[in-house]
Structure 1
Amino acid sequence: MIELKYVDKRYPTSNALLYVHGLTIRKGEIVGILGENGSGKTTLLKSIMGIGELQNGEITIEGKSVGEQYERMAFITEEGSFLPHLTPKKYAHFLAEFFPQFDLEYFNELLRRYELPTDRRIRTFSKGQKMKLEISAGLAKRADYFFMDEPFVGKDIFARRESLKLMMSGLKGDETLLITTHLIDEIENVIDRAVILFKGLIRQDLYIDDIREQGKSLADVMQEVRNTRPFYDH
């Protein structure tokens, strides 16, 4: 379980901010972190990962600090966490030294399925190839908690769906996933829950089943958020 209490994160050089009064993500949930550019999606994931300091508040995973749970987490980001001067093969051995659960066989299988070269330096890869490598490395960590920041950027609709299918097929079923994305149509049938941010505040936190019971789609809820202005974080 991930718990955020009175989390306040700001950047001194920009207007970006995040304030979360309280948020609990239960173990095994697949949660879409949604919102427009600058709404705080990436900041939320980085805060949970322990990247950068908080001005106030506390984040715990199963009652422990983020630092104590680092080996159980994987951060898959558009920015890339790989080492560009290495080849995928050497990068895999690097990861295996730091993550005891790293699954080299599964990593190599993902490289084959993504048709990625194993002996070329990562810096020579295209943007799409780098994202596929990032996904492969993240999934092969066999983590309990996955934080995916825009993992489908730059792919056409068929490639995105295939990538999503590949990602989900590699999971055991009890992992907790937080996924930021603009592509709500493609993840609506994958996520259990949607947390929608607007200007650093949580504006909606709904389960997909509840949205459907109201006769709405996720797109409908997103539009409602766009048409309102936040005065408080609930």
Structure 2
Amino acid sequence: MIELKFVDQRYPASNALLYVNHLAIPKGEVVGILGENGSGKTTLLKAIMGIGELQNGEITIEGRPVTAQYDRIAFITEEGSYLPDLTPEKYGRFLADYFPRFDQARYASLVDAYELPANRKIRTFSKGQKMKLEICAGLAKRADYLIMDEPFVGKDIFSRRDSLNRMIAGLSGEETVLLTTHLIDEIENVIDRAIILHKGLIRADIYVDDMRERGLNLSDVMLEVRNARTSHPFSWPAE
């Protein structure tokens, strides 16, 4: 379980902030972190990854500090964690030295499937190619926790669907996945739960099955949150 208690995280240089009283994400859930630009999505993921010092609060994974179990976490982000002067082939060998679970065969297969040049320096890649390489590396880590920040940004609709399908096909079902994205329609059939943020606050936390029982989709819920946020956080009406 990922658990946040009384978290206060701020990045003054970018005016980013996050306030979470309590949030628990059980093992095995696929969770969409949604919201408009500047809502706190990336700040939430960075806080969970232990990037930046918390002003207040505590974040744990299975009761232990995040920093004590980086080998169980893969962070896939547009910012990239690759080494630009390496080739994908050399980068894979580098990752294998640092991550005991790293699956080199799966990594090579993904690099080939995405048609990435295995022996060309990463710094020569396009933005889209670099993001694909991040996905390859993240999935090949065979991590228990996948933290993904806008992994499909900049791709055309066919490439996005391909990346999404590859991600889902590569999961065992035991992984916990946190995914930020603007692609509401494309992830609705993938996620178990949606957490919607606005100005660093959780404005809705819903399970997709509950949402569907009410005859709603994610776009409906996003609209409800947008209409309610000026007065009070959106919540489901009592049964």
What is the match of residue 20 of structure 1? 20
1:211 matched residue in structure 2 = 211
1:92 aligns with 2:92: yes
- The DSSP-based 3-state class of the residue aligned with 1:83 is coil
Q: Describe the SS at the equivalent of 2:69.
A: helix
The reply on whether 1:181 has 2:175 as its aligned counterpart is: no
Which residue is equivalent to 1:46? 46
| Distance in 1 of aligned mates of 2:145 and 2:16 | 25
1:64-143 paired onto structure 2 within 5 Å = 64-143=64-143
SS at 1:5 equivalent: strand
Shift of residue 229, structure 1, vs aligned partner:
2.1
CA contact (8 A) 1:77 1:148 kept: yes
Q: CA deviation at 1:175?
A: 0.3
Residue 37 (structure 1) aligned with residue 37 (structure 2): yes
Once residues 199 and 227 of structure 1 are traced to their aligned partners in structure 2, the CA distance between those partners, rounded to angstroms, is: 14
Q: What CA deviation, in whole Å up to 9, does each residue of 1:5-47 have, x standing for no partner?
A: 0000011223221000000000000000000000000000010
Q: Could you state the TM-score of these two structures normalised by the residue count of structure 1?
A: 0.97
Q: Residue 11 of structure 2 corresponds to which residue in structure 1?
A: 11
Go from structure 1 to structure 2 and tell me whether the alpha carbon gap of 1:99 and 1:232 turns closer, same or farther (over 3 Å shift).
farther
Tell me the distance in 2 between the aligned counterparts of 1:77 and 1:14: 18
SS in 1 for 2:228: coil
Mapped pair 1:169 → 2:156: no
SS at 2:148 equivalent: strand
Structure 1: distance between partners of 2:16 and 2:24: 23
Deviation at 1:162, TM superposition (A): 1.1
Match runs of 1:219-234 below 5 Å: 219-229=219-229
Distance, in Å, in 1 between the alignment partners of 2:231 and 2:57 is 20
Give the aligned residue type for 1:109: S
Name stretches of at least 5 consecutive residues in structure 1 with no aligned partner.
Answer: none
Distance in 1 (CA, whole Å) between partners of 2:195 and 2:12 is 26
Which digits, 9 at most, give the CA deviation of each residue in 1:104-133, with x for residues without a partner? 000000011101111100000011110110
8 Å contact from structure 1 (residues 34, 182) kept in 2: yes
Q: 1:232 & 1:21 partners in 2: Cα distance? A: 16
1:137-152, aligned counterparts within 5 Å? 137-152=137-152
**Cα distance in structure 1, aligned partners of 2:168 and 2:61:** 22
CA–CA separation in structure 2 for the residues paired with 1:93 and 1:34 = 34
The 3-state SS of whatever aligns with 1:227 is: helix
Residue type at the aligned position of 1:134: E
Deviation at 1:226, TM superposition (A): 1.3
Q: Select between 10-19 and 57-66 the one with higher mean Cα deviation.
A: 10-19
Find the aligned partners of 1:194 and 1:209 in 2 and give their Cα distance.
11
TM-score by length of 2: 0.95
Provide closer, same or farther for how the CA distance between residues 207 and 30 of structure 1 changes in structure 2, counting only shifts above 3 A: same
- Give the aligned residue type for 2:224: E
Name whichever of 10-19 and 201-210 sits farther off. 10-19
Q: What's the counterpart of residue 159 of structure 2?
A: 159
How far did residue 156 of structure 1 move? 1.2
Q: Deviations over 1:47-91 (max 9, x none)?
A: 001111110000000000101111100000011111111101111
CA positional deviation for 1:227: 1.5
